[in-house]
Structure 1
């Protein structure tokens, strides 16, 4: 994998370690997790580990040594009997060559070799507190090093959270990552199209979820990026609702927030559409408000803008829509500015307009910058090739002071946006957002 990005990322981490005085970094992958009895959950690697290795097998650790610039992989040894049961293993020798490491050893050698690597280094770089089991391993290795103090061997005198380095690296995507995310977005969009075209009264939410999952796997996705939200009628007003057995009823909306993971990278799409293929007048009114708010947020997404600029743009449109429709009363809230200042909009729009997305659907990276002179931390400025979601919504629960025509209407529209110098590029518009286009798609 000489032309892969993984070795280059490891080199960048080592450079960052050296700027902090140097040391050894330890980045383990995720453990296998039992589901019940002798059955495990489907295995998914740790994102930080995969970002530096491209390696998907369990029981593996990346070690970076800034003293000599070396990257080392510990992984499972070849074992014909286990491979018959569990599948192919690279083994250290093949993994070293294929994944571009300077050295590779069996995971069985980890406890013997780590104290040697940690001896006489100034600092340890590690995800402090991320895993009690891994913390215990680290303590054991450090105590082994300290036991040699009479021989002049020293243990690391300081520790750094390696995630602080990796979070900043992962926040700005390279061409390799954006290419995968674009393909993931395309697959997810195709799945939403299939769900819209399948929709009809009488189906259950899980029927539509099955169509999504089928389309994900049919096009090569390894997993859903998160638990699929398929919510009809009143369920669409529950933000993290999971697909259940509720019947899709004639005249109701269906909100689907679902997307796939491809080669370690997530996509994230939400669409809201009428079960019978035709918006009612009330549904269309609120839908168009949400769509206009999303467009305002998209227009505000560009390099140099603050992270909260898209949210502020969306809120202004939503607030005006709430006043225009009577969801918020003008005799109580005289203007859009009043609505925003009092946060009255949060009754119907209670979440933010976006989040980072990448290897994790809610990806790593700080949303605020360091505060000058210890004051309030400002929202960070967007940079080219950051990727975030844009997802405003309106959710109206029944209440005595709310006109019944709006009851149980839940609408969210979400796309994934790559920040560019002059705006953003949407990765997920393979499924329509315009109400007329949705109705035409469903008729077809």
Structure 2
């Protein structure tokens, strides 16, 4: 967990950026969401703004800030019923020492916020406090008669997002731990996946390896796609079996201390890459390695993406799947038939972390740019994913308008022959350093010789 001194500095920096002369800031963590038909709840995950500023994952808690009084945290006190069913809850003294804040009973929050009726109040974090204020120890929100300043809340939230971009040493340490746990899962898959195993079985084994290596949870829903399923970008594993001659795409990451990892590896279901599989994989790997090598302070992430698009387009021409000039293919977004998503995104307390777009930059509606999740100059301390992919997505390939628009630059007969191929994605977590970058997930092999050596173990053991 974060050290109290580090959290104190973080909160001081944010408060200085806010520069509030009056008013109050309320940052709820979120509350447990019940599972219908049971007496249990979905797994709790605190709002990232709360987790960043409070340094905790406490459900039903409220972090507050007043420019005159500073920061405080209101946390629930377990009732007798709570203690019977779910345990004693959070120890306020221990929590306060760990995060460097006074921790008060949640029942005192209503009195605290009522004293701010004449001042503007900004809400960050989980806005469920407005709809479910009783869960935070307050009467109905309307009865509090507070002046909620939504524009102020938006401004303060943007400043927190900016602060979250660069990770401090404590955050990086947590992300390294998450990356190490992710490596255990992906290495298990590379060594043990075999034809006849289902996507769902492989998902279970990968996630079990995460937890054995210290992960606290998965960072997102694990993606396992075999054969044509690998072309669905966020594919949920099914009972489809791995088949020799196909590739397997696994996008899965562990989480540790609230911080995510995000890794994708693609490998043959059999011992080795065959035919077109090898050529396509080598292209995606070359694009990824070039992008990682170019990632350093001052480089625009959008330009990294466009360079990857050009390299992908050139490779598609070399493989005979496209024709024409690389510049024309990228300008027309023909490459996006095969590489429709962005090169990657910011990573941290969220898998798609805050602050990915620099203030004032509007998302593009271009087919080749509309799913780009990062548009900003890279700076030391940023952690980004770099994840080019090459897919044969039937929904795009069968779209009449795209077949018409790209009739002159796509070799449709060759492309259609690969309709069942699926996709290849290679993704790593990259820390931007003072002089370049460091791949936090470098312990997970991705070259063809490395992968084929590990795949042999699945058949020789």
TM-score, normalised relative to structure 1: 0.88
Listed as ranges, the matches of 1:272-283 within 5 Å are: 272-283=266-277
Aligned twin of 1:307:
301
Pick from 315, 318, 322: which aligns with 1:324? 318
Listed as ranges, the matches of 1:383-402 within 5 Å are: 383-397=379-393, 401-402=413-414
Q: CA deviation at 1:401?
A: 2.2
CA distance in 2, matches of 1:407, 1:371: 36
1:358 counterpart SS class: coil
CA distance in 1, matches of 2:415, 2:117: 71
Q: Provide Cα deviations, 1:7-34, integer angstroms capped at 9, x if missing partner.
A: 22222222223x2434321100021111
Say if 1:29 and 1:60, in contact at 8 Å, map to a contact too: yes
1:362 counterpart SS class: coil
Q: Provide Cα deviations, 1:40-96, integer angstroms capped at 9, x if missing partner.
A: 11222221111122222211000111113x211111114455224212323444433
Aligned twin of 2:83:
83
Q: CA deviation at 1:351?
A: 0.5
Q: CA deviation at 1:160?
A: 3.0
Listed as ranges, the matches of 1:86-165 within 5 Å are: 86-101=86-101, 103-116=102-115, 118-121=116-119, 123-127=120-124, 131=127, 133-134=129-130, 137=133, 144=144, 159-161=152-154, 162-165=156-159
Aligned twin of 2:291:
297
CA distance in 2, matches of 1:224, 1:231: 17
Q: CA deviation at 1:417?
A: 0.6
Aligned twin of 1:151:
none
Say if 1:253 and 1:275, in contact at 8 Å, map to a contact too: yes
Say if 2:122 and 2:150, in contact at 8 Å, map to a contact too: no
1:36 counterpart SS class: coil
Aligned twin of 2:46:
45
2:248 counterpart SS class: strand
Q: CA deviation at 1:131?
A: 2.9
Pick from 233, 245, 256: which aligns with 1:251? 245
Say if 2:297 and 2:432, in contact at 8 Å, map to a contact too: yes
Q: CA deviation at 1:407?
A: 3.5
Q: Provide Cα deviations, 1:204-227, integer angstroms capped at 9, x if missing partner.
A: 011110111101111221111001
Say if 2:291 and 2:304, in contact at 8 Å, map to a contact too: yes
Aligned twin of 1:150:
none
Structure 2 residue 278 is matched with structure 1 residue 284 = yes
Aligned-residue Cα RMSD (Å) equals 2.6
Aligned twin of 1:9:
10
Unaligned segments of structure 2, at least 5 residues: 363-373, 398-411
Q: CA deviation at 1:248?
A: 0.4
CA distance in 2, matches of 1:2, 1:240: 35
Say if 1:355 and 1:389, in contact at 8 Å, map to a contact too: yes
CA distance in 2, matches of 1:218, 1:432: 20
Structure 2 residue 13 is matched with structure 1 residue 35 = no
Aligned twin of 2:371:
none
Change (3 A) 1:75 1:256: same
TM-score, normalised relative to structure 2: 0.85
Q: CA deviation at 1:403?
A: 4.9
Change (3 A) 1:242 1:113: same
Change (3 A) 1:440 1:404: farther
CA distance in 2, matches of 1:157, 1:359: 24
Aligned twin of 2:209:
215
Q: CA deviation at 1:156?
A: 7.5
Aligned twin of 1:425:
438
CA distance in 2, matches of 1:23, 1:420: 38
Structure 2 residue 260 is matched with structure 1 residue 266 = yes
Change (3 A) 1:397 1:110: closer
Structure 2 residue 197 is matched with structure 1 residue 184 = no
Say if 1:257 and 1:271, in contact at 8 Å, map to a contact too: yes
1:389 counterpart SS class: strand
CA distance in 1, matches of 2:82, 2:361: 53
Aligned twin of 1:67:
68
1:35 counterpart SS class: coil
CA distance in 1, matches of 2:299, 2:305: 11
CA distance in 2, matches of 1:62, 1:304: 35
Structure 2 residue 410 is matched with structure 1 residue 408 = no
Change (3 A) 1:412 1:156: closer
CA distance in 2, matches of 1:49, 1:156: 19
> Which moved further from structure 2: 379-388 or 3-12?
3-12
